[in-house]
Amino acid sequence: MEPLLRVEDLRLYFRTTKGIVQAVDGVSFELAPRTAMVVVGESGCGKSSLAKAILRLLPRNTHTYSGKIFLDGTDVMALNDEQFRREVRWKRISYVAQAAMNALNPVIKVGTQVAEPLFIHNNLTKSEAVNRVVEAFQLVGVPVDFVDRYPFELSGGMRQRVVIAMALITSPQLVILDEPTSALDVLTQANIMNSLKRIREELELTYILITHDISTSSELALDAMVMYAGQIVELGKAGHFFLEPLHPYSQKLMASVPTLREDKDLEFIPGQPPSLINPPTGCRFAPRCPKRFTTCEKEPPMVEYKDGRKIKCHLYV
């Protein structure tokens, strides 16, 4: 199957007063259409920067932005910023930013805010736009009469749904969701996860879900990507990752996830993730890795394991 998104050697470095931060450092992966890939990792591992790199939402202090991104076979890195903005961002790939529900403009009605991308990208008339907003609200489960409300009149869960509606209104192929439920209560979280699942099936969408909450991500995940210190360390089917993680980091990560229904000995990962300014040479996880051996001083290759899994670790060479 032709991948919907193919990323090759994507790099995004930032310039700071302390040095160059290698937030995304040589990331390559493919994403099949109609899948949902979850990207997990500790905070500061480059998950959100990956989203920004794919969407080309670059801050002013960008130092390096390189690599290739193919969307449906077309090389979107070749487009200039204006073309990218007009033809790709929000039109084919949309984005639910972290804490976006708190970033809604407090003085504009939510209906108008949701319609905003339509005015920018689709040149619709007002009544057409209103119809689309109503459809989008029905899709994400926001009562239709909420279009005339202001953000502060909505609960957190409703605001999050509004933000999702905003990402869906331009009928994109790919939606990148950055921590879409992290600030919400358990029931609301379950509710929104249900809606996201249903919407993906109905609209044949593809998701990239960025989260640090592995339990909740299992509600949506078909594929899984584990990031550590700006790099991919494990890539494969979500089932494989949840049940039998291979990379020592993934194993530790899974062992730290508390479970409600079964007793297990919880573990934690000692130490801290490395600084992205001067990451350690060789395997970046080696300083914290219980299975470290001498070869780990060298940069591990991305090993193709069975079932299409990829692991960046010397243990599987």
Partner 1 sequence: MRGLLAALKEITRYPSAMVGLFILAFILALAAYAVITIPYGEAIRLWRGGEATWRYNPRTAAPAWIDYLTPKKLLRTVILGPEDAQKEVKVLSERTRRLIFTYTLDYEADVFPSELAVVFKSQYEKKPPRVEVIWRTPDGREFSFGRQIPSGKVHWYTVSQDRDLIASLRGAPEEVLFQDPNAPEKTLKGIHTITIKAYVFEPEADLEAEVVVYGTVYGIAGTDHLRRDIWVALLWGAPIALAFGLGASFGITISSIVFAAIGAWFGGWVDAVVQRLTEIRMVIPTLPILIMVGLFYSKSIWVILAVLIGLNLIESTVKQYRAVFLQEKRTPYIEAARSYGARHLRIIFRYLIPRVIPWVIPSFVLAVPAYVFLEASLSVLGLGDPVLPTWGKLLSDAFSHGALYHGYYYWVLEPAFLLMLTGFGFTLIGYTLDKVFNPKLREI
Partner 2 sequence: MQDQVLISVRNLHKWFELRKWGFIHVGFVRAVDGVDFDIRHGEAVTFVGESGCGKSTLARTILGLYQPTKGEILFQGKKLQKLGRWYRAQVGYIQQDPYGALPPFMNVRRILLEPMVINRRGTRTERERRIREVLEEVKLTPVEDFIGKFPHMLSGGQQQRVVIARSIVLNPKLLVADEPVSMLDASVRVEILQLLRGVQEAHQLGVAYITHDLSTVRYFSERIFVMYAAKLVEKAPVKELISNPLHPYTQALLDAIPDPDPENAHKFKEVPPGEPPSLLNPPPGCRFHPRCKHLIEGLCDQEVPPEFEVKPGHYVSCWLYK
The answer to whether the beta carbons of residues 50 and 226 sit under 8 Å apart is no
Q: Is the dihedral of CA 16, 6, 220, 261 positive or negative?
A: negative
Instruction: Work out whether 123 is an interface residue with partner 1 (CB under 8 A).
Output: no
Rule CB under 8 A: is residue 186 a binding residue for partner 2?
yes
Specify whether the CB–CB gap between 33 and 4 falls below 8 A: yes
**Is 61 near partner 1 (CB under 8 A)?**
yes
270 backbone φψ class: left, alpha, beta (φ>0; ψ -120 to 50): beta
Least distance from partner 2 to the Cβ atom of residue 217, Å: 8
51 binds, among partner 2, partner 1, none (CB under 5 to 8 A by kind): none
Q: What is the dihedral of CA 154, 190, 46, 98, to 10 degrees?
A: 0
- Binding to partner 2 (CB under 8 A) within 32-61 occurs at 36, 42-43
Name which position in 83, 144, 198, 204 contacts partner 2 (CB under 8 A): 198
Size of the site for partner 1 (CB under 8 A): 5
Give the torsion sign (CA, 70, 75, 80, 83): negative
Q: Is 197 in the site for partner 2 (CB under 8 A)?
A: yes
The correct pick among 85, 149, 212, 292 for binding partner 2 (CB under 8 A) is 212
Only one of the segments 13-21, 118-126, 190-198, 251-259 lies at the binding site for partner 1 (rule: CB under 8 A); that segment is: 13-21
Contact between 264 and partner 1 (CB under 8 A)?
no
**HEC letters along 3-70:** CCEEEEEEEEEEEECCEEEEEEEEEEEEECCCCEEEEECCCCCCHHHHHHHHHCCCCCCEEEEEEEEE
Q: What residue has token string 């084919």?
A: 92
Q: Spell out, one character per residue from 14 to 43, where the chain touches partner 1: x when CB under 8 A holds, - when not.
A: -xxx--------------------------
In the complex, minimum distance from the CB of residue 218 to partner 2, in angstroms, rounded to a whole number = 4
DSSP H/E element including 260: none
58 binds partner 1 (CB under 8 A): no
Which segments within the chain are labelled E, that is strand? 5-16, 19-31, 36-40, 62-71, 74-75, 93-96, 174-178, 206-210, 223-228, 231-237, 302-304, 310-312
Residue 149, interface with partner 2 (CB under 8 A)? no
113 binds, among partner 1, partner 2, none (CB under 5 to 8 A by kind): none
Residues 259-298 within binding reach of partner 2 (CB under 8 A): 259-263, 266-270, 272
Residues forming the site for partner 2 (CB under 8 A): 36, 42-43, 155-157, 185-191, 193-194, 197-198, 212-222, 237-239, 242-243, 252-254, 256-263, 266-270, 272
Q: Which positions lie near partner 1, rule CB under 8 A?
A: 15-17, 60-61
